[in-house]
Amino acid sequence: MSERLTKSAARNIFFGGTIFFFVIFVALVAQSVNYAIVNGAVPSESAAHGKRIWERHACFDCHTLFGEGARFAPELGQVWLRYGGADDPDGARDRLKDWIKAQPSRVEGRHQMPHFDLSDKDLDDLVDFLRYTSGINTQNWPPKAKG
Amino acid sequence: MKYESQKVAKLYFIGAMTLFALQIVFGLLGAVLYVNPTGLPDFLPFSVVRMIHTNALVVWLLMGFFGATYFLLPEETESELYSPFLAKLQFWLFFGAAGAAVVGYLFGYYDGRSYLEQPLIIKLGIVVVALMFLFNCSMTLLRGRKTVISNILLLGLWGVALFFLFSFYLPANVILDKMFWWWVVHLWVEGVWEVVMASILAFLVIKLTGVDREIVEKWLYVIIGLALFTGILGTGHHYYWIGTPGYWQWIGSVFSALEVAPFFAMVIFCFMMVWRGGRDHPNKAALLWTLGCAVTAFFGAGVWGFLHTLAPINYYSHGTQVTAAHGHLAFYGAYAMINLAMITYAMPQLFNRAPYNQLLNMWSFWITTSGVAFMTFTLTFAGIVQTHLQGMLGMSYMEVQDQLGLFYWMRLGAGGVTAAGVVLFILSILLPMGASTASSSARPRPAE
């Protein structure tokens, strides 16, 4: 390395630069937090509770949500729309709940989803959560609607 | 080894290798579920297998960092640890919490987000463990010699603890939730963990090559500077599609593309120091792991990260096996290998059996690294096919999975090779293989 860069200069650049970039980062995150508070507002208590169901059963350890999580099972950010929630909310809700209740399929060679003991209210709340996520503006991701 | 209290590191390294083995077992089970989804009993669904696989990884790496710190801190500060007893107590608390978490997972006790599935009580336990550790190390540092390596290492470890606190923030707003999940995950592995890794690397390079400390320390500042200048705003590459504003696509693309720089600097640094250094250190295996760590981290974290970090590419590859490919090689190269390098360097001293037969250890290096590399290649191909069929042609997830069977079989095979390498590594460290070969005893002793 160049002899012109002394150790104390390297140290000062490190600390100064780190503080500089961290301050910019925090400022941008603060701006995004304000954006998120408006654009990601939770519509109902039930959707918030549905998110807790999602977390307590580690759904993300098989599925992705906005592409994040495990890749063992389909993306669920827009599953509400795939099930026709935009035109037929009651039908979509029933179809999603029936799907969850019918697992595991035990079809040989097909990825298996465990059976979860969820009350009807829990299932409704989970569906409310997935309905909420389908309304988030994800910059047009995913590229194709099928998950 | 000059200081009695360094011996606590042995406990941490053995604990780390135990959890490493557990991680590999559950990795294999996960790979089996990809090729034979009905092949395991109902109490082992993929979700639980994955959470044990990833959690065991994170905990054994942290345990390795703790052990490495307890080993190098007395030598750097030229004083005994503040409290070896507290260090032992901390180990058993951490190991106990990890064991309790794993058993709990098998019975359905988990809650939170990916990698952070620990129930609240375990998360609080982790905070207590971190505070015990930081107190012990900071007190040691305060009363001893303050080197750049020990200062920077402690700075990184304080950062690790600080950012873990965001695991307690679990807002109902899904955008905020995801944004601050990355404050733990990204600011760990592409931030403060790199600082910890670079410090341990610098310590190993001084010991193994004998290069002047002044030069190494200057390099250390440059490397961690590059890591944080790019890595902090590089967080933006996780903020593309999670409901955050569009400007992150520019910030994330530009800064995360530069995240390859610190890893490239580490490769240059390690090879230059070895080339310059005059010392013929007898622990060739430790040198192999040290150089291998820098090179594999460059490919895994640097090249494989760059592969899918630009927003227009990530738009299609996001959420596919490309991410899994990058994750495996990056974690192995940067963080598993730095720990295995440190264990290889320290354990013969801790067992008081240096110099020892390193042939088995070097075989384990090549076998494990080849296994993980091949696994990465198979997942990369699977991910590219998946990106094309799903992201471009719009096939459904399940239809695409049927096309990927061959890659998943090859991944399972690569996992088997990796597991064999890990078994050899653990045997090479634990078995009493003394200086039985002529080659190892004929070499000159190190200067320190």
Provide the number of CB pairs (under 8 Å) joining chain A to chain B: 208
Domain extent, residue B124, equals 1-146
Residue B104 included in any domain: yes
Residue of A nearest to B249 (CA): A139
Residue of B nearest to A112 (CA): B37
Query: For residue range B300-321, what is the model confidence (pLDDT) as tens digits?
Result: 999 999 999 999 999 999 999 9
ipTM associated with this complex? 0.96
Chain-chain contact of A68 with B48 (C-beta, under 8 angstroms): no
CA atoms within 13 A on the CB side of B170: 18
Mean pLDDT of B324-349: 97
Please tell me if residue B78 touches chain A, with a CB cutoff of 8 Å: no
- Tell me the percentage of chain A whose pLDDT exceeds 90: 93
Model pLDDT, residue A144: 86
Please tell me if residue B175 touches chain A, with a CB cutoff of 8 Å: yes
**Stretch among A11-25, A126-140, B267-281, B301-315 having the lowest mean pLDDT:** B267-281
Question: For residues B118 and A147, what is the distance between their CA atoms, to the nearest angstrom?
Answer: 29
Rounded to 5 degrees, φ, ψ at A64 are -105, 155
Task: List the single best residue of B32, B34, B38 to mutate versus A (max A Cβ within 10 A).
Answer: B38
DSSP B289-357: HHHHHHHHHIIIIIIHHHHTTSHHHHHHHTTSHHHHHHHHHHIIIIIIHHHHHHHHHHHHHHTT--S--
Q: Is the dihedral of CA B263, B267, B268, B269 positive or negative?
A: positive
Query: For residue range A67-110, what is the model confidence (pLDDT) as tens digits?
Result: 999 999 999 999 999 999 999 999 999 999 999 999 999 999 99
Chain-chain contact of A111 with B172 (C-beta, under 8 angstroms): no
Please tell me if residue B167 touches chain A, with a CB cutoff of 8 Å: no
pLDDT surpassing 50 at residue B195: yes
Chain-chain contact of B391 with A17 (C-beta, under 8 angstroms): no
Model pLDDT, residue B122: 97
């004929």: which residue's tokens? B442
CB < 8 Å to B320, chain A: 71
| Total domains present in chain B | 1
CATH number of the structural domain A42-147: 1.10.760.10
Residue of A nearest to B152 (CA): A11
Model pLDDT, residue A110: 93
Model pLDDT, residue B357: 76
Task: List the single best residue of B33, B36, B47 to mutate versus A (max A Cβ within 10 A).
Answer: B47
**How many helices, marked H, and strands, marked E, lie in chain A?**
5, 2
CB < 8 Å to B389, chain A: none
Count the Cβ atoms, other than its own, within 10 Å of residue A86.
11
Q: Which residues of B5-35 are buried (b: 16+ CB within 10 A; e: fewer)?
A: bbbbbbbbbbbbbbbbbbbbbbbbbbbbbbb
Q: Which residues of B180-214 are buried (b: 16+ CB within 10 A; e: fewer)?
A: bbbbbbbbbbbbbbbbbbbbbbbbbbbbbbbbeee
Count the Cβ atoms, other than its own, within 10 Å of residue B338.
27
pLDDT surpassing 50 at residue B436: no
pLDDT surpassing 60 at residue B438: no
Average pLDDT, chain B: 95
Nearest residue, CB atoms, B319 vs list A51, A67, A112? A67
Identify the CATH number of the domain in which residue B90 sits.
1.20.120
Chain-chain contact of B394 with A106 (C-beta, under 8 angstroms): no
Chain-chain contact of A143 with B392 (C-beta, under 8 angstroms): yes
Contact B300, B331 (CB under 8 A): yes
Local confidence band at A146 (pLDDT 50, 70, 90 cut-offs):
low
Model pLDDT, residue B432: 77
Query: For residue range B208-242, what is the model confidence (pLDDT) as tens digits?
Result: 999 999 999 999 999 999 999 999 999 999 999 99
CB < 8 Å to B219, chain A: 1
Rounded to 5 degrees, φ, ψ at A69 are 135, -155
At B116 the three-state DSSP class reads strand
Model pLDDT, residue A4: 81
CB < 8 Å to A23, chain B: none
Query: For residue range B151-166, what is the model confidence (pLDDT) as tens digits?
Result: 999 999 999 999 999 9
Please tell me if residue B148 touches chain A, with a CB cutoff of 8 Å: yes
Please tell me if residue B229 touches chain A, with a CB cutoff of 8 Å: yes
Please tell me if residue B117 touches chain A, with a CB cutoff of 8 Å: yes
Chain-chain contact of B240 with A72 (C-beta, under 8 angstroms): no
Chain-chain contact of B243 with A137 (C-beta, under 8 angstroms): yes
Q: Please identify among residues 193-222 of chain B the ones whose CB lies closer than 8 Å to any CB of chain A.
A: 214-215, 217-219, 221-222
CB < 8 Å to B118, chain A: none
**Chain centre distance of CA B347:** 19
């696989």: which residue's tokens? B53
Residue of B nearest to A55 (CA): B112
Residue B95 included in any domain: yes
Please tell me if residue B86 touches chain A, with a CB cutoff of 8 Å: no
